[in-house]
């Protein structure tokens, strides 16, 4: 296995992780922004107010996009194992 192969595998892994984690992070960020605007307009400065909406947003994103996330991760793992067995890594 060459250096280029290892870098390619790492790059694909990082891309897969960002693709899978992106929707949950985006949902948490959008909900956090909306709650911050709500807090600024109502002058409610409760620190724990942002925790539950963000948690629920990430949870529902995971519930709705979970099958897609699992399929992306399984495809990446299958391709990785196929490549490693073909390259003689094992």
Asked if pLDDT for residue 7 goes beyond 90, the answer is yes
Q: What is the mean pLDDT of residues 12-24?
A: 96
Residues 53, 59, 64, 68, CA torsion sign: positive
Domain ranges of the chain: 3-87
CA distance 57 to 74: 24
> Helix, strand, or coil here: 1?
coil
Q: What is the pLDDT of residues 43-86, one digit of tens each?
A: 888 878 889 999 999 999 999 999 999 999 999 999 999 988 88
pLDDT value at 89 more than 60: no
Share of residues in the chain with pLDDT > 70 (%)? 97
Q: Over 60: is that where the pLDDT of 90 sits?
A: no
């Amino acid at each position: 296995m060459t250096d280029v192969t290892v870098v390619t595998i790492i790059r694909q892994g990082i891309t897969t992780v960002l693709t899978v984690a992106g929707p949950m992070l985006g949902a948490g960020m959008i909900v956090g922004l909306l709650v911050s605007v709500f807090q600024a307009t109502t002058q409610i400065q409760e620190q724990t107010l942002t925790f539950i909406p963000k948690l629920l947003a990430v949870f529902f994103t995971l519930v709705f996009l979970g099958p897609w996330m699992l399929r992306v991760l399984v495809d990446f793992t299958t391709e990785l194992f196929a490549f490693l067995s073909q390259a003689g890594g094992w």
